[in-house]
Amino acid sequence: MKLQEYHAKRLLLAEKLPVPAYDVAETAAEARRATESYLAGGAEKVVIKAQVLVGGRGKAGGVKLASTPDEAEQTAAGILGMDIKGTTVRRVLVAPAADIVREYYLAAVLDRSTRRIMLMGSAEGGVEIEVVAAKDPTAIKQTHAHPHLGLLDYQARALAFDMGVDSQHLRDFVSIAQGLFRAMIDNDADLVEINPLAVVRDTSPDGSTGESLQCLDAKITIDDSALSRHPDLELMRDVAEEDPVDVAARHEGISFIRLSGSIGCMVNGAGLAMTTMDLIKRAGGEPANFLDIGGGAKADKVEAAMRLILADLNVRAILVNIFGGIARGDEVAHGLVEARNQQERHVPMVVRIVGTNADEAARILAESGDPDVQMAATLDEAVARVVAIAAGAPVSA
Ligand code: GDP
Ligand code: MN
């Protein structure tokens, strides 16, 4: 689950990381009021930032500075409602604008290959890290935290030296890097990214200046499988920005991942679902999704799964592969017949049901008299047929 910047910053503040003050506004008038208070507090400008779960907001015109309440109101009005990469902006973050001297990139990520948390940094901050990685991979420096001891001081210092961080910021850099590590652990995150981690010029009321490191942007993603341990984080979920199909799948308790192929899959059990996808690929087809309806699937769950599959207009054929154990074949068959009766789009379907009440399932499907439903005796046969249908047959409306 991705978090919005204003939520991510809250988690950074909980780790005592340096994040400039900020407000969240849903209207231009609210943005104006926030600006008035920051300007009254001594800020020269504010930064107004679109809150959407996509990167590159700056380039898309979703990050702007304003010097007066009028300007802030107009700017916020322009950003609210703006479309950024297909997402409509519904909120903006308002903060005193930082006077940026330098921009670094710093992130903690779960490195699955080493099974450790990796700290990744670059002197080329502010730009997308994928671009840096493609242009000059050596510009990205890394270190792996110890699984029990965490990110040790010397490791964080070595990373700072590699990145060319000025010695006056070394101490702060070490505590920020360790804070990112803690944010990973405390929230079961798989990414905590600060881009830019900026050297900011601070001006005191007496006119003297100094510099500090500040987290100006924050991106955090939480491991979905760990969300049951974090009810407070679950509340930060932005359903409006999620794919409606994902929202529906979660609501029905169905594991569903959309893919780019043309063969819809309905399977019970994660292992069987993966095997089914492998067999489809081996036979030259492309699965349109991973779908595990779970154990003991009832007719209504089968119907819901069918709706998820058919919502994808790339689907040209459907493979139903059910191993009846706790799930009963007749229940699944009833669900399939019911789903076929309700749906508007008729897509050919190949069904393989074995195990509990498989004969009953075959009878129910045969009696339904649907010419687009075929039964297959074996999985190999089912896969061969569904791949052939997806490759050739036109989709009947
Ligand atoms: P992103 O484009 O979605 O990653 O959004 P960011 O929050 O990283 O902002 C993009 C860029 O806007 C940053 O790299 C900065 O150069 C600039 N920016 C963001 N906040 C400030 C600020 O407070 N002051 C100034 N001067 N520039 C900012
Ligand atoms: Mn950024």
Q: What is the pLDDT along the chain (397 residues), one digit of tens a residue?
A: 999 999 999 999 999 999 999 999 999 999 999 999 999 999 999 999 999 999 889 999 999 999 999 999 999 999 999 999 989 999 999 999 999 999 999 999 999 999 999 999 999 998 888 999 999 999 999 999 999 999 999 999 999 999 999 999 999 999 999 999 999 999 999 999 999 999 999 988 788 899 999 999 999 999 999 999 999 999 999 888 888 888 899 888 899 999 999 999 999 999 999 999 999 999 999 999 999 998 777 888 999 999 999 999 999 999 999 998 888 889 999 999 998 888 888 899 999 999 988 999 999 999 988 889 999 999 999 999 999 999 985 544 3
Q: Is 42 helix (H, G, I), strand (E, B) or coil?
A: coil
Instruction: Pick the ligand that lies closest to the CA of residue 126.
Output: 1
Whether the Cβ atoms of residue 39 and residue 30 lie closer than 8 Å to each other: no
Q: What is the pTM of this model?
A: 0.81
Distance CA 369, CA 61 (A): 56
Q: How far is the CA of 95 from the centre of ligand 1 (A)?
A: 11
Q: Which residue has the tokens 């890394």?
A: 142
Strands 317-324 and 263-267: parallel
Own/partner contacts of 226-231, CB < 8 Å, gap of 24 or more, are: 226/188, 227/1, 227/188, 229/188, 230/187, 230/188
In this predicted structure, what is the pLDDT of residue 74? Answer: 98
Distance CA 247, CA 256 (A): 10
Whether the Cβ atoms of residue 193 and residue 181 lie closer than 8 Å to each other: no
Whether the Cβ atoms of residue 119 and residue 151 lie closer than 8 Å to each other: yes
Q: Which residue has the tokens 């990373």?
A: 159
- Whether 104 is a known active-site residue: answer no
Give me 135's structure tokens. 């242009």
With the most atoms of ligand 1 within 8 angstroms of its CB, the residue from 100, 122, 199 to mutate is 100
Q: How far is the CA of 194 from the centre of ligand 1 (A)?
A: 11
- Whether 105 is a known active-site residue: answer yes
CA-nearest residue, atom 13 of ligand 1: 126
Whether ligand 1 lies within 6 angstroms of the CB of 47 is answered as: yes
Whether ligand 1 lies within 6 angstroms of the CB of 125 is answered as: no
Q: Provide φ and ψ at 38, rounded to 5°.
A: -70, -40
Give me 275's structure tokens. 């095997």
Whether ligand 1 lies within 6 angstroms of the CB of 327 is answered as: no
Whether ligand 1 lies within 6 angstroms of the CB of 217 is answered as: yes
In this predicted structure, what is the pLDDT of residue 394? Answer: 52
In this predicted structure, what is the pLDDT of residue 397? Answer: 39
In this predicted structure, what is the pLDDT of residue 392? Answer: 86
Q: Provide φ and ψ at 366, rounded to 5°.
A: -65, -40
Whether ligand 1 lies within 6 angstroms of the CB of 124 is answered as: no
Whether the Cβ atoms of residue 51 and residue 93 lie closer than 8 Å to each other: yes
Could you tell me where the DSSP H helices lie in the chain? 5-14, 28-40, 69-79, 129-135, 153-163, 170-187, 231-234, 244-252, 270-282, 299-310, 329-342, 358-367, 379-392
Q: Which residue has the tokens 């910047």?
A: 5
Active-site residue among 124, 193, 303, 331? Answer: 193
Distance CA 330, CA 335 (A): 9
Closest alpha carbon to 286 in 266, 261, 257? 261
CA-nearest residue, atom 10 of ligand 1: 58
Q: How far is the CA of 317 from the centre of ligand 1 (A)?
A: 46
Q: How far is the CA of 185 from the centre of ligand 1 (A)?
A: 27
Closest alpha carbon to 165 in 212, 215, 104? 104
Active-site residue among 105, 124, 303, 331? Answer: 105
Whether ligand 1 lies within 6 angstroms of the CB of 53 is answered as: no
Q: Which residue has the tokens 């920051």?
A: 38
Number of residues assigned to the chain: 397
Q: Provide φ and ψ at 9, rounded to 5°.
A: -65, -30
Give me 197's structure tokens. 């981690």
Whether ligand 1 lies within 6 angstroms of the CB of 98 is answered as: yes
